[in-house]
Amino acid sequence: MIRPGRDSDAADFIALTWACWSEYPGIRMDVDAEMPEYHALASYYSAVGGTLWVAENDGAIVGMIAVRPLANGQWEICRVYVHPSRHGSGLGHELLDTAERFAVAAERFVLWSDTRFARAHRFYEKRSYVRAGPIRVLNDISSSLEYRFEKPRDGIELLDAAAAESAIPRLSAILIACVEEGAGVSFLPPLAPDVARAFWRDTARDVAGGRKLVLGGWVDGVLAGTVTLAFAWPENQPHRADVVKLLVDPAMRRHGLARRLMARLELEAVRAGRWLLTLDTRAEGGAEALYRSMGWNELGVIPCHALTKDGTFDDTVFFWKRAGTPSEASSGRGVGLDPVP
What DSSP line would sit under 186-203, residue for residue?
S--SSPPHHHHHHHHHHH
CA-based nearest residue to 98, from 76, 67, 129, 61: 67
DSSP code of 338?
A: P
Q: How far apart are CA 48 and CA 5, in angstroms?
A: 15
305-316 confidence digits (pLDDT tens): 999 888 899 999
DSSP code of 34?
A: H
* 3 state SS of 150: strand
Q: What are phi and psi of 172, to 5 degrees?
A: -65, -45
Domain ranges of the chain: 2-152, 157-330
Q: What percent of the chain has pLDDT over 70?
A: 97
Residue 333's pLDDT band (boundaries 50, 70, 90)? low
DSSP code of 144?
A: -
* 3 state SS of 46: helix
Q: How far apart are CA 45 and CA 64, in angstroms?
A: 13
Same fold, 2-152 and 157-330: yes
Give residue 329's pLDDT.
80
CATH code, residues 2-152: 3.40.630.30
Give residue 140's pLDDT.
97
Give residue 183's pLDDT.
85
Average pLDDT over residues 27-51: 98
Report the b/e string of 194-217 with b at 16+ CB within 10 A.
Answer: eebbebbeebbebbeeeebbbbbb
Tell me if the domain spanning 157-330 has CATH number 3.40.50.740. Answer: no
Neighbouring residues of 195: CB distance < 8 A, sequence distance ≥ 6 = 187
Average pLDDT over residues 252-277: 96
What DSSP line would sit under 269-316, residue for residue?
HHHTT--EEEEEEETTSHHHHHHHHTT-EEEEEEEEEEE-TTS-EEEE
- For 135-141, which contacts have Cβ atoms below 8 Å and span 24 or more sequence positions? 136/112, 140/34, 141/28, 141/30, 141/33, 141/34
151: left (phi over 0), alpha (psi -120 to 50) or beta: beta
Residue 286's pLDDT band (boundaries 50, 70, 90)? confident
Average pLDDT over residues 21-41: 97
216-235 confidence digits (pLDDT tens): 999 999 999 999 999 999 99
Give residue 341's pLDDT.
30
